[in-house]
Amino acid sequence: MRKIIYILLFPLLWGCDSVLDVEPENAITFTNFFKTEEDFNAMVFQLEGFFRYKQFENETMAYRGFLADQVNGSSNQDQRMLNQTSLLNSFYNSWKNHYDLIYVANVILDNLYRAEGIPRDKLDFYAGQAYFVKGFIYFDLARKWGDVVITKNSTSMEVYDKSSMIDVLDEAIKNASEGYRLLPKYEDMPLLGANTWVSKQYGCKGSCVALLAHLYAWKGSMIDLCGLEGDAKECYEESITWSTLLIEKKVGFYELERTSEEVCTKAMKGMGASQENILEFELDRFQNYPMAYFPGSIWITWPVKGTETPASVVTKSFTIKAETVKNLYESKDDRRNEYFYKLDSMSHDTMYKVNQGYAYVYKWRDVVYEDVSWSPTPQVAYIDVNYCYWRLADIYLLRAECCAKLGNDLAKSDLNKIRDRANATPYPAPGESDIQLAIFKERERELLFEGHRYYDIIRNGLEYIHTYMDGNYKTLDQQDVKEGALFLPLDTDAFTLNDIIRQNIYWSKFE
């Protein structure tokens, strides 16, 4: 097991409430630091530790978008039904962790000039990591909250107002582009003082390109969806260009796994096991949520967890019927019996009293057990995987989506590249005529439970939102969307020490 190293160098990094509302440390704090490679290595380790820990404390968008037949728990239902009053009053929707991360990245960038005798390529690596994290975080802020704050640096004491979502996406693009310029390919990544495998959580050319491909696809979609100023067509073309660099191995060696089984045993495993994976997040197996969180973890039960029983599936927060799975995949599609455990035999009528017709997710399979004092038998310690965030199949289908929006015939070949691996019928299968819909459904099949579906729905427009979301989502119009209905409401801590920030228009109606 490989773990991100957490080095608690500066209490101020843990203790700051937010760059939005905390008086910054004077630059002289770092006068005797940021001199050597060891200093910068330590700060990059700190940044990576924060990246994993702070980024995923709020992953409600994955829950909103899960393809599920039964959802247990009122909080999950509120998210998926867009129950406005509950979302305002019952959820912690803070962006604090995101700005803590931006602060740490800015600390690194603001102190590069202090370096003494450090080779240029190493300084580029440190700066590139900070730019990649900033680009990723601004992208995540824009997708979750829409209009958000853009900060200047780690020392500014001014109070910031929100910037438009398009400006935030442009800020993310600027940072991701700098990371792309400065960072090496994954296979050329430097070792930070240890002769070990380099985690795919670190930024590299490939992960910056994946970020840029998603940024431009999202920006174009928001221009179309919200009726914003900008050239959506140009954005889709940019996304295609960046995606192509990954697919053609021009920014690192990435290739699809050969089979759907290897998607489960290698790509979903991570930890260096897969050349399909572009960006992974390291899980700390010995810590609880969010350190051991990934979207698929909430679905896992028997037989992966040997301490649970076949009946445990009915108790999960999210469940999916075997019949839903059978309707989702053709009978010859390999993913049907790789992503799910013995789909047909476990959904036989004789099993209904046990599992009520629910399917057993088998996409993640590696479990580690530990002895505990309170049980005579070992218990599940953790799911032994990393969080695979972006993989090459996602990029093929993202390029296909953008091509379909532009009427580019490449959409069909990209779609069929993923279908061919699963032994599914190439497009157009009988009854298929809408390639954009076919690509959306293929992302649903291929990336099932990986946390992308909510964003996939939004990128495809209001008709998809009405069709594939429930509750109050079904009555949203373009004005609601433009005013922020699809994003999280700002949490009260955003206003605590900042009297110029206001709730977005849509959510202010329910306060």
Q: What is the pLDDT along the chain (511 residues), one digit of tens a residue?
A: 333 333 333 333 333 333 333 334 444 456 567 778 888 888 888 888 878 776 676 678 999 999 999 999 899 999 999 999 999 887 878 888 899 999 999 999 999 988 888 999 999 999 999 999 999 999 999 999 999 999 998 888 788 899 999 999 999 999 999 999 999 999 998 876 555 567 899 999 999 999 999 999 999 999 999 999 999 999 999 999 999 999 999 999 999 999 999 999 999 999 888 999 999 998 876 666 556 678 999 999 999 999 999 999 999 999 999 999 999 999 999 999 999 999 999 999 999 999 999 999 999 998 888 888 888 888 887 788 999 999 999 999 999 999 999 999 999 999 999 999 999 999 999 999 999 999 999 999 999 999 999 999 999 999 999 999 999 999 999 999 999 999 999 988 888 778 899 999 999 999 8
43 in a structural domain: yes
Residue where a domain stops, chosen among 384, 403, 429: 384
pTM for the complete prediction?
A: 0.93
Q: Domain check: are 254 and 300 in the same one?
A: no
Q: Measure the CA–CA gap between 395 and 216, rounded to whole angstroms.
A: 13
379 in a structural domain: yes
Q: Domain check: are 239 and 339 in the same one?
A: no
Q: Domain check: are 210 and 116 in the same one?
A: yes
Q: Domain check: are 332 and 377 in the same one?
A: yes
66 in a structural domain: yes
62 in a structural domain: yes
143 in a structural domain: yes
406 in a structural domain: no
Q: Which two tokens stand for residue 349?
A: 């009528």
Q: Domain check: are 79 and 206 in the same one?
A: yes
Q: Measure the CA–CA gap between 497 and 16, rounded to whole angstroms.
A: 13
427 in a structural domain: no
Q: Domain check: are 183 and 134 in the same one?
A: yes
Q: Domain check: are 303 and 353 in the same one?
A: yes
Name the residue type at position 335.
R
25 in a structural domain: yes
DSSP single-letter state for residue 369: E
Residue where a domain stops, chosen among 328, 355, 384: 384
Of the candidates 449, 454, 311, 314, the residue with the CA atom closest to the CA atom of residue 383: 449
**Domain encompassing residue 180:** 11-259+489-508
Q: Which two tokens stand for residue 279?
A: 């960006």
Number of helices and strands (H, E) in the chain? 21, 8
Q: Domain check: are 248 and 324 in the same one?
A: no
Residue where a domain stops, chosen among 350, 384, 418: 384
Beta strands 318-319 and 277-281 are unpaired
Q: Measure the CA–CA gap between 457 and 157, rounded to whole angstroms.
A: 39
218 with 238: CB under 8 angstroms? Answer: no
Q: Which two tokens stand for residue 140?
A: 């995540």
Q: Domain check: are 157 and 254 in the same one?
A: yes
Q: How many domains does the chain have?
A: 2
Q: Domain check: are 202 and 339 in the same one?
A: no
CATH number at residue 74: 1.25.40.390
